[in-house]
Amino acid sequence: MKVSFSKSFKKSYHRIPEKLRNRVDERIILFAQDPFDVSLHNHELKGKYKGYRSINITGDLRAHYYTLKMDVALFVALGTHSEFYS
């Protein structure tokens, strides 16, 4: 799958420590190869994030995206579980 990133995702990405950026990079590469790899915990979101999906970057860090076309995902948000749901 091809991936793109919104401005807000890129901004959030550059605000996190380098070690976490490396982890994001690894997970996005895995996502591009197999979006539904079990380790990503790819799942549909509900409520105010209905229409989006989420993958786990770390135990608490998440990346939200939606599918633009059958083979293109746009990552729109990067943050902790509590940042998204508080």
**Confidence band (pLDDT; 50, 70, 90) for 74?**
very high
Give residue-wise pLDDT tens across range 3-47.
999 999 999 999 999 999 999 999 999 999 999 999 999 999 998
Q: Which strands, in side-by-side order, build the sheet including 53-56? A: 2-5, 72-80, 61-69, 53-56, 43-44
C-alpha 85/C-alpha 29 separation (Å) is: 26
CATH class assigned to 2-85:
alpha beta
C-alpha 69/C-alpha 76 separation (Å) is: 15
Q: Domain-by-domain residue ranges, the chain?
A: 2-85
